[in-house]
Structure 1
Amino acid sequence: MRESREIELDGHIIDSGIMEHVLDSILDMGGDFEILEFTVGKRKTDTSYARVLVIGTDGENLDSIISTLHRHGARLVDSEDVTLVQAEGNRIVPKGFYSTTNYPTQVRIGDEWIHVDNIEMDCLIMVSPDKRSARAIPMSKLEKGDLVVVGERGVKIKPPERSRSHEVFEFMGGVVSSERPTETTIKKIAREIIDTHKRGLKVALVGGPAIIHTGAGEACATMFREGYIDILFGGNAIATHDIEYNLFGTSLGMNIQTGELVSAGHKNHLYAISEIMRAGSIKKAVETGVLKSGIMYECVKNNVPYVLAGSIRDDGPLPDVITDSMVAQDEMRKYVPEIGMVLMIATMLHSIAVGNCLPSYVMTVCVDINPSTLTKLMDRGTSQAIGVVSDAGAFFPMLLSQLHQLQDE
């Protein structure tokens, strides 16, 4: 027997394509719809409102459709308060718990909509004992007795809309193209970096060792020294090869200046790690004069926080590398609230990891020579990412040049 329920949407639902996605989803899932009310904004800044009757083939089909539409920002007209269930033990989540997106989210408690703090994807929503606040937490942080949101009832999300303020990147998210004019795009990225700082937010870099391998290390270090980048996320590799280059002039045993392999140079990254271990840490190596230049040097000298997350195959690793992945996650999350823009350069795994911790409204630019890296990042939930197919060695010097030009204007 066919069943139906009313949903409503508001915001910039036409020019952002949200209305189209909603109606297409209903039809694709075998349902039908009737538009009961549709108020269209008359100007660019005006929002629109729609009330739609969603019809399913049966109750199960209707529930599936409503669940899908929820991810597009739709909510039931007869919405009720969220369902809260206490966790029966540490890290034991109630069955049917609500799994978060990275979109701004609210929950309804006592007929009031409460903003969910610290939103990120694939987490659960925990409500405070007094039911006055809510926040997203990973499953690993759940403790016995915590109140957890179960089901989608009483949960409202706000998917990304077409930008009204960032015209230079208007609706470029989710696009990967090797044919996009690189210089024009890099100029827009430079403008966004400057505008992000003007808004009082920070710019983070998620960097891979290819930054060093391709000869972009010096330009990257300059961006830290001149205050264009405020936070560094990476792994053992970017720090190790940065230090190797600035101690021995090589990266993976190759002379960066000449492009020639150095005899026995394959050992240099291990020698670099050993020198930092002898000093005690990267910071101590800088303070004692062992390390005199490079990305890590500039981070230490300019009080730029960095989080180096380890992996199974790390050499060493450096003493600053966090080998417990859960501790590394928590350390990265400390800086997320103050980040307005992230540059992800030539590192697929760290880019996906950091992307999973970011709210959807953080501007994310992913640069990689391999288009599949950019696609994988977006497929894993970071749909707001702007993909730039480019070599890190060409990207950083061009970006630094554009930043200098904009500052001189």
Structure 2
Amino acid sequence: MSFKLPKYKKPNFEQEFLKNAPNVTTVEVVKEGVAPDNYHGTTIYPEYLRVDGKWVLAKESRMDCVMTVTEDNDVAVKEFRNLHVGDKVIVGRTEDASEGIYVYTEGFNSDEEEEEETFAFRAGRSRETAYSKDYDDLYDALRYEKENGYIVWVLGPAAVFDKDSREAMQVLIENGYAHAFLGGNAVATHDLEAATIGTALGQDIYTQKSMKDGHYNHLDLLNKARRAGSIEKLIEEENIDNGLIYSCVKNDVPIVLGGSIRDDGPLPIVIGDVYQAQNEMRKHTRKATTVICLATQLHSIATGNMTPSYTVVNGEVRPVYIYSVDVSEFAVNKLRDRGTLEVSTIVTNVQDFLVNLKNNLTK
């Protein structure tokens, strides 16, 4: 395996502008869920805050939140809705240490990085891009992450519409390449529909032939699941022994399904309160070291916005790898447009993507 985790280079705090920087200024919250004026909004990058004469790294960060100074002079990153009266919110809109706030973007830059050509063809990422190197890098990264990281999958229903890709995802889970699964009602519903009936949205998952009255199939599955009361009970009652959801349950891989206003059913496991769903997703994005988003624009953007470019593992700062994979160029680039700059995009059929991963990681 050629993968090597890049070494994080901390800022040189002996530099004059950092050494002589002031402490951060804080203002207490006076109304639940409301930040004071001039609050500092977080980015995706490592941020250091000068607290009581020391530079403190904001751990478990996420974009578009605020930071508070805790009683033990540490820094906590909080969503606005989670602010409480008395919380000491860091204020200031500069990022250059002049207000005790330093946004550091150079931590993973290599001294050996090549200078890019000013003018070059095919510099963007599109359906014409060659992705062989991306695949090889991803294989190496996932082999490392399996034992040393926390791999979070974000999947749309297209991942289970095909027999081969559905089986590939099951094999990846069973071989330890998934530590959490995030998605919505549809991907789980159609996976379980395939497990019990052999169709997804009424189409045979191998031949893609539409079955007679097939439009009832996912509704029948939802009804059975709601009657059973839980996914685990449904698996037991229907003798389910295959698929994404079955494999997650069997291998104790956490599942977080966020509800949508357009959901049928939904499944008993789906979280209807969007903020509760966000909280549950956040538990996994806090720990994530690699995030792979497949064919689900809304869940990909949601997860990407919760995931910073770095995380802290055993006291060491390391990068978080984010992949956005879709057959649509618009879909993969949307995540970058919404602020998740540290993302690798692959424009391809997600069924082919999953089969490639299975064939190369489990052979």
Cα drift, residue 230 of structure 1:
1.4
Gaps of 5+ in 2: 1-6, 114-122, 311-319
Tell me which moved more, 274-283 or 366-375: 274-283
2:272 counterpart (316, 323, 329) = 323
**Counterpart-to-counterpart distance in 1, 2:108 and 2:28:** 38
Q: Which residue of 2 aligns with 1:297?
A: 246
> Is the 1:187–1:402 Cα contact (8 Å) retained in structure 2?
no
> Is the 1:129–1:147 Cα contact (8 Å) retained in structure 2?
no
CA 1:245–1:48 in structure 2 vs 1: closer, same or farther (change >3 Å)?
A: closer
**Counterpart-to-counterpart distance in 1, 2:42 and 2:324:** 23
**Counterpart-to-counterpart distance in 1, 2:223 and 2:246:** 17
Percent identity for Structure 1 against Structure 2: 36
Task: Tell whether 2:118 aligns with 1:155.
Answer: no
Q: How many residues align?
A: 332
CA 1:309–1:211 in structure 2 vs 1: closer, same or farther (change >3 Å)?
A: same
Q: Which residue of 1 aligns with 2:118?
A: none
**Counterpart-to-counterpart distance in 2, 1:160 and 1:253:** 50
Tell me which moved more, 355-364 or 183-192: 183-192
**Counterpart-to-counterpart distance in 2, 1:101 and 1:335:** 19
1:100 counterpart (16, 23, 42) = 42
- The amino acid that maps onto 1:136 is V
Question: What is the Cα-based RMSD across aligned positions, in Å?
Answer: 2.7
Task: Tell whether 2:304 aligns with 1:363.
Answer: no
Flag the structure with larger Rg: 1
TM-score when scaled to structure 1? 0.76
Alignment of 1:102-121 (within 5 A): 102-121=44-63
CA 1:181–1:292 in structure 2 vs 1: closer, same or farther (change >3 Å)?
A: same
Report the secondary structure of 2:208's partner residue.
Answer: coil
Cα drift, residue 118 of structure 1:
1.8
TM-score when scaled to structure 2? 0.85
**Counterpart-to-counterpart distance in 1, 2:179 and 2:349:** 22
**Counterpart-to-counterpart distance in 2, 1:300 and 1:396:** 20
Task: Tell whether 2:71 aligns with 1:129.
Answer: yes
**Counterpart-to-counterpart distance in 2, 1:358 and 1:395:** 22
CA 1:292–1:92 in structure 2 vs 1: closer, same or farther (change >3 Å)?
A: same
CA 1:351–1:48 in structure 2 vs 1: closer, same or farther (change >3 Å)?
A: closer
- The amino acid that maps onto 2:150 is K
1:141 counterpart (69, 72, 82) = 82
Report the secondary structure of 2:336's partner residue.
Answer: helix
Q: Which residue of 2 aligns with 1:396?
A: 354
Q: Deviations over 1:99-124 (max 9, x none)?
A: 00021111102221112122100000
**Counterpart-to-counterpart distance in 2, 1:99 and 1:390:** 35
Cα drift, residue 303 of structure 1:
0.5
**Counterpart-to-counterpart distance in 2, 1:101 and 1:376:** 18
Q: Deviations over 1:331-384 (max 9, x none)?
A: 112122332101100000000001111111310011000011111101111111
CA 1:257–1:384 in structure 2 vs 1: closer, same or farther (change >3 Å)?
A: same
Q: Which residue of 2 aligns with 1:212?
A: 160
Q: Which residue of 2 aligns with 1:340?
A: 289
**Counterpart-to-counterpart distance in 1, 2:9 and 2:293:** 34
> Is the 1:245–1:251 Cα contact (8 Å) retained in structure 2?
yes
Gaps of 5+ in 1: 1-43, 53-74, 168-173
> Is the 1:201–1:339 Cα contact (8 Å) retained in structure 2?
yes
- The amino acid that maps onto 1:274 is N
- The amino acid that maps onto 1:381 is G
> Is the 1:97–1:149 Cα contact (8 Å) retained in structure 2?
yes
Task: Tell whether 2:186 aligns with 1:237.
Answer: yes
